[in-house]
Amino acid sequence: MSAEIIYGRELAEDIRERMTKEVADLRELGVVPGLAVVIVGNDPASLSYVRGKDKASKKVGLESNLIELPEEVSQEELLDLVDRLNHDSNVHGILVQLPLPDHINEDEVIEAISPSKDVDGFHPVSIGRMMAGKETFLPCTPLGILTMFKEKEISLEGKHVVVLGRSRIVGKPIGQMLLNENATVTYCHSRTKNLKDFTQNADILIVAVGKPGFISGDDIKDGAVVIDVGVNRIEDGSLTGDVDFESALEKASYITPVPRGVGPMTITMLLHNTIQAAKQLNQIPQRSS
Ligand SMILES: NC(=O)C1=CN([C@@H]2O[C@H](COP(=O)(O)OP(=O)(O)OC[C@H]3O[C@@H](n4cnc5c(N)ncnc54)[C@H](OP(=O)(O)O)[C@@H]3O)[C@@H](O)[C@H]2O)C=CC1
Ligand SMILES: Nc1nc(=O)c2c([nH]1)NC[C@@H]1CN(c3ccc(C(=O)N[C@@H](CCC(=O)O)C(=O)O)cc3)C=[N+]21
């Protein structure tokens, strides 16, 4: 068997095309959805991601403001900036790129963001609402994965989902969101023993570890759905996921590639959340689609 490849990038392009029209309609009403992306320091990978977000935002007609701060910025300065963005009526979404330098208290910065502008869905209020299954901003990578499942009509109810990784950005929220969809969820992490026993029993395997080739065909069950979240730059300068694509392709029923898989969906969901935030802050009714 050879898996069907889920090209997130193609789905992302379709969704962004619809968004472009929606943003044009909002602009007619005098509402220009605005996103502020804050990056501290000059890590090349992080800079490349935030530039990708900035470019994609502008392409669908959002007003995107990329704020680059030096590595040495103080906690106070960063909190002051967040406060200014919270009060700026042209800004509807605020994203502070993670990780932040060691001298910055990441939790304090995230908690300073107004929940009404929390387009990353990392604020404790957003997380609490997500856990309760209430409407809220959902974290972009998990929301992108969920959107791929819906598009491919991959059913989640009663499925055994195994999540590798428990980060704030990916692992923890995707597990909770799939639990909300009635999946049976197992979390694995660096202290998990006998990892293969879990991965080989997964109907759906979500890999967000950050290690190239961490999972191969031997680790998965025949017909499993494999979602590769990892984005790793290797020596030759190319990008690769956490899954050995060729061997997994032979056993899986569906698989996402890297690049052009989950990554472009993440960015698209950020744009989606920003448009929703702009509508909510301007009391414009939500569309059903
Ligand atoms: N495509 C996209 O849109 C996105 C891609 N990414 C990519 O996803 C990958 C993961 O990033 P992120 O979610 O931020 O995770 P982190 O890098 O913050 O954490 C990695 C997770 O993997 C776990 N882990 C590490 N080693 C092992 C092991 N040997 N066995 C089992 N689990 C292990 C860690 O466990 P422990 O908690 O015990 O340390 C941790 O929970 C990266 O490659 C990143 O670039 C990230 C965000 C979005
Ligand atoms: N507050 C915060 N929110 C985030 O959402 C966040 C973050 N911090 N820190 C870092 C991670 C990483 N992340 C990616 C998003 C898109 C791609 C992406 O689009 N990747 C393309 C390739 C891009 C390229 O070619 O460089 C792809 O996979 O096809 C990758 C990684 C978001 N993150």
CA of 128 to the centre of ligand 2 (A): 24
Backbone phi and psi for residue 93, each to the nearest 5 degrees, phi listed first: -130, 135
Radius of gyration (C-alpha) of the chain in whole angstroms: 19
Put the strands of the sheet holding 34-40 in their side by side order.
63-69, 34-40, 93-96
Q: What percent of the chain has pLDDT over 70?
A: 99
Ligand 2 center–CA 195 separation, angstroms: 26
pLDDT of residue 286: 77
Distance 90 CA to ligand 2 centre (A): 25
Nearest ligand (C-alpha, residue 230): 1
Mean pLDDT of 75-82: 98
Pocket-testing residue among 266, 267, 268, 270, ligand 2, by greatest number of atoms within 8 A of Cβ = 266
Q: Could you say which ligand is closest to the alpha carbon of residue 191? A: 1
Protein residues whose CB sits closer than 6 Å to any atom of ligand 1? 141, 164-167, 169-171, 188-192, 195, 208-210, 229-232, 262-263, 266
Quick check: 172 and 178 in contact, CB under 8 A?
Answer: no
Active site amino acids:
53, 97, 120
| 140-263 matches 28-117 in CATH topology | yes
- From ligand 1's centre to the CA of 230, what distance in Å? 7
Residue 141 Cα: closest atom of ligand 2: 5
* pLDDT, tens only, 29-65: 999 999 999 999 999 889 999 999 999 999 999 999 9
> Exposed (0-12), middle (13-18) or buried (19+): which is 201, by Cβ within 10 Å?
middle
- Answer yes or no: is the C-beta of 176 below 6 A from any ligand 2 atom: no
Among all ligands shown, which has an atom nearest to the Cα of 97? 2
Pocket test for ligand 2, best of 10, 40, 49 (most atoms within 8 A of CB): 49
Any ligand 2 atom below 6 A from CB of 64: no
Q: What is the mean pLDDT of residues 247-265?
A: 98
Amino acid letter, residue 229: V
Q: Whose CA is nearest to atom 22 of ligand 2?
A: 259
Task: Write the residue with the smallest CA distance to atom 9 of ligand 2.
Answer: 98
Q: What tens digit of pLDDT does each residue of 168-224 get? A: 999 999 999 999 999 999 999 999 999 999 999 999 999 999 999 999 999 999 999
**In this predicted structure, what is the pLDDT of residue 289?**
53
Residues 103-115: tens digit of each pLDDT = 999 999 999 999 9
The Å distance, Cα 277 to ligand 1 centre, comes to 28
Does the model's pTM come out above 0.95? yes
**Token pair in block for residue 239:** 């990008």
What does the domain layout of the chain look like in residue ranges? 28-117, 140-263
- Which residue has the CA at smallest separation from atom 18 of ligand 2? 263
pLDDT, tens digit, 9 for 90 and up, residues 139-162: 999 999 999 999 999 999 999 999
Look at residue 288 in the predicted model and tell me its pLDDT: 59
Cα 77 from Cα 165, distance rounded (Å):
32
Spatial separation of the C-alpha atoms in residues 138 and 143, rounded to whole Å = 6
pLDDT at 77: 98
pLDDT, one tens digit per residue, over 7-38 is 999 999 999 999 999 999 999 999 999 999 99
Q: Using CA atoms, how far apart are residues 247 and 217, in angstroms rounded to an integer?
A: 5
Q: Is 120 in the pocket of ligand 2 (CB under 6 A)?
A: yes
What is the CATH superfamily name and number for domain 140-263? NAD(P)-binding Rossmann-like Domain (3.40.50.720)
Mention the CATH class of domain 28-117.
Answer: alpha beta
